[in-house]
Amino acid sequence: MFRFLSMAWLCLLAWAGPAQALTAEQALAMAAGDTDERVAAVQQAIVQPDERIAAFLKALADDEVKIVGAGKAAIIVRDGKGIDPATGSEVPVPDDAEDVINNNRMRGEIDTAMAGLALFGKDDAKRLAAAKALTREPDAGRLPLLDKALAQETQPAIKAQLELARSATLLGSEDAAQRISAAQALSLSATPDTRLLLNERVTVEEDAKVKAALQAALKAIDGELAWGERLGAAFSGISLGSILLLVALGLAITYGLMGVINMAHGELMMIGAYATYVVQGLFQKYLPGAFDWYLVAAVPLAFGASALVGAVLERSVLRFLYGRPLETLLATWGISLVLMQLVRTIFGAQNVGVENPAWMSGGVQVLSNLTLPYNRLVIIGFAIAVLLSMGWLIGRTRLGLFVRGVTQNRPIASCMGVNTARVDTMAFALGSGIAGLAGCALSQVGNVGPDLGQSYIVDAFMVVVLGGVGQLAGTVYAALGLGVLNKFLEGWAGAVLAKIAVLVFIIIFIQKRPQGIFAVKGRTAD
């Protein structure tokens, strides 16, 4: 009954015309009394927005309001000085001034009221955010406020959001026809917030016709949101596939060319990630104004650092183990442990954070429940660029010709004058450098730590084997296919079962087609 009377009073105020600025009585009503009375006073005050009302609400939210004169007035106390909320003049602060206590309901009402006041500001973004906040927390007492905002709003997008907020408010109307109309209007807004509102309402609705309208609206919204979820899973799969592609691309070259089972490939990727971290630190210290471009400088350094380490490993250890795959596996596994411990000694055992540049922060809002992060989009584009560069290098350059020749028939290539030892070193350095690029990309989507490479090495080998040893096209198909398959299975069976299902699929596929998706063409030495 009290809520109905307060609504009627607010509607009367809105109809009667502009209200006066904040008065001492209004300030006292918002600060003292029981919660229902204070909530009604706040809702009444913001029907006619005023700067002093906004300032008083801010003071209430910051616990800067006190009651003086044995409950006769409310003042703002800031930095030890008293301020009259109605006039803004300085007033004394009595020793017996009492603090205003705000419970959770009151704080929520104050926050929503402040958001409501933002509906009348000049900033379009803030008005839109305020309209969305009022949509998520509908209250019949704010209907006059929404009507007033609708009457003066000129931006179509904000006006549409205000209409949704009004419809959400009318879901609690006493009139069944208004509730049905509100449900039909909300069915056009396919957002998770709208679905939550309708779900909450349908559980308490007693009118059969209204309940049917609510259920129909929910069905329409669920259909729309399902597309966002499917597209989101597909995008996540492509994003994961692009990361797997970067990790596996270098491995496809080294494993396909030399038959080296390089268990240190993940640690070469880790070196690229830490190289990015070092470049970030240098820019923060010496070039803070150009920090947003540190990633451009980090890319060649990450490639160079990992390529150099790879070349040293190939010349010092791996060249003596060609043709002995088990020994290369054990040797590179030992090297991986050495590299991890070296990084722990230099940088510590804890993960380090690498910040996104400003141009990689945020995302593109495609649907209400689908946002494409800029950092993921950049990584996908980066993977495509690396792939195209690798395709050009392998297919159009002298080094690529030598690599393909040694891959297909090492003895004949050597007889034709190709320095296979140098090709091995350059190819291994190239594969290691690409691993460094993968580490640079991974630093933009998560923390960097000594164990970074361990999370991807097994998946990278699965991609290479599934795609076909030494086949770039197969690596692309396998990486994207496994990424998308894994994400869709995660939504259906969970992360652990999805991993198991993918592994079982790969085992069955390799049993049926041992050469992978694409087999090496031409004659070999075997």
Least confident of 93-97, 420-424, 494-498: 494-498
Strand ordering across the sheet containing 98-99: 90-91, 81-83, 73-78, 65-68, 98-99
The pLDDT score that the predictor gives to residue 518 is: 65
Ramachandran sector of residue 78 (left: φ over 0; alpha: ψ -120 to 50; beta: rest): beta
Q: Say whether pLDDT at 375 is over 60.
A: yes
Most confident of 107-111, 151-155, 290-294: 290-294
- In tens, the pLDDT along 242-258 reads 888 888 888 887 776 66
CA angle 22, 25, 27 (to 5 degrees): 55
The pLDDT tens digits for 11-27 are 433 333 344 578 888 88
pLDDT bin (cut points 50, 70, 90) of residue 470 is low
Instruction: Specify the higher pLDDT residue, 1 or 464.
Output: 464
Written as one string, the DSSP assignment of 83-95 is E-TTT--EE---T
pLDDT per position as a tens digit, 307-352: 999 999 999 988 888 778 788 888 999 999 999 999 999 998 889 9
User: pLDDT digit string (tens) for 29-64?
Assistant: 888 888 888 988 888 887 777 788 888 888 888 888
pLDDT band at 374 (very low <50, low <70, confident <90, very high): very high
Q: What whole-number distance in Å separates Cα of residue 1 and Cα of residue 441?
A: 61
- 9 falls in which pLDDT band (50, 70, 90)? very low
Predicted model pTM: 0.71
Mean pLDDT confidence for 460-478: 77
**How sure is the predictor about 469, in pLDDT bands with cuts at 50, 70 and 90?**
low
Q: Tell me the helix, strand and coil percentages in the chain, rounded to 5.
A: 70, 5, 25
pLDDT tens, residue by residue, 423-456:
888 988 998 999 999 999 999 888 899 988 887 8
Model pLDDT, residue 335 = 92
Could you tell me the domains of the chain? 2-170 (no CATH), 228-512 (1.10.3470)
